[in-house]
Amino acid sequence: MTHKLVVDCSTGVVTEVELTAEEIAQREADAVAFAAQKGS
């Protein structure tokens, strides 16, 4: 899964946008950081 759904509230148009390499890396980093905060 490498895309996000972006909803433009001014038009109502929903667009599929590919995640950038930076966004993917940030997701992985956030997952590691979050795991230490709450175990659910």
Partner 1 sequence: MANTYTPIATVEVGSGGAADIEFTSIPATYTDLVVKVSARSTSSSGDCRIELNGSGGTAYSGRLIYGDGSAAASASNSGQALMSWGAGAINRSTTTSNTFANTDVYIPNYTSSNNKSVSTDSVEENNATQAYSQLAASLWANSATVTSIKLTPSGSGNFVEYSTATLYGIIRTPNER
Binding map of partner 1 across residues 11-40, x = CB under 8 A, - = no contact: xx-x-x--x------xxx-xx-xxx-xx-x
Instruction: Please report how close the Cβ of residue 13 comes to partner 1 at its closest, in angstroms.
Output: 9
3-state per-residue secondary structure call for 3-15: EEEEEECCCCEEE
Q: Decide: is 6 part of the binding site for partner 1 (CB under 8 A).
A: yes
Q: Which of 2, 32, 35 is nearest to 18 (CA)?
A: 2
Q: How far is CA 32 from CA 5, 21, 22, in A?
A: 23, 17, 16
Per CB under 8 A, residues contacting partner 1 are: 1-12, 14, 16, 19, 26-28, 30-31, 33-35, 37-38, 40
